[in-house]
Structure 1
Amino acid sequence: MDAQSLVDRRGELWLALAPLWLEREPGERDYAEMITVIERHDLTVHELEWVFRLELAPVLARHQMSVVGEWRAFDDYKLMKQLVAHNLRLTGWRRKSWALFSGLTTMMTRHRWNELIARLMVERGETPP
Structure 2
Amino acid sequence: MDAQTLVDERGELWLALAPLWLDREPGERDYARMVTVIQHHDLTLHELEWIFRLELAPVLSRTQMSVASEWRAFDDHQLMKRLVAHNMRLTGWRRRSWALFSGLTTMMTRQRWNELMLRVMIERGEAPIT
Q: TM-score, normalised by structure 1?
A: 0.98
Q: Cα RMSD over matched residues?
A: 0.9
- Residue 93 of structure 1 and its aligned partner are, at CA, apart by 0.3
Provide the C-alpha distance between the structure 2 equivalents of 1:107 and 1:127, rounded to a whole number of angstroms.
23
Could you tell me how far apart the structure 2 residues matched to 1:18 and 1:128 are? 26
Match of 2:61 in 1: 61
The equivalent residue for 2:34 is: 34
The CA deviation string for residues 47-71 of structure 1, in whole angstroms up to 9 with x for no partner, is: 0000000000000000000010110
Task: Give a deviation string over 1:6-48, Cα, whole Å, max 9, x none.
Answer: 0000000000000000010001111000000000100000000
Aligned residue for 1:126?
A: 126
Q: Quick one: which amino acid aligns to residue 28 of structure 2?
A: E
Shift of 1:127: 2.1
Rounded to whole Å, the distance in 2 between the matches of 1:78 and 1:120 is: 28
**Equivalence for 2:101:** 101
* SS of the residue 2:25 aligns to: coil
CA deviation profile, 1:85-106 (whole Å, cap 9, x unmatched): 0000000000000000000000
Cα distance in 1 for residues equivalent to 2:28 and 2:118:
13
Please, which runs of 5 or more residues in structure 1 have no aligned partner? none
- Number of residue-to-residue matches in the alignment: 129
What amino acid is the match of 2:25? E
**Within 2, Cα distance between the matches of 1:42 and 1:127?**
17
- What amino acid does structure 2 have at the position aligned with 1:86? H
For 1:9 and 1:110, locate their aligned partners in 2 and report how far apart those are by CA, in whole Å: 24
In structure 2, what is the equivalent of residue 14 of structure 1? 14
TM-score normalised by L of structure 2:
0.98
List structure 1 runs of 4+ shifted beyond 3 angstroms: none
Query: Which 5+ residue runs of structure 2 have no aligned equivalent?
Result: none
* 1:115 paired to 2:115: yes
- Write the letter of the residue equivalent to 1:113: W
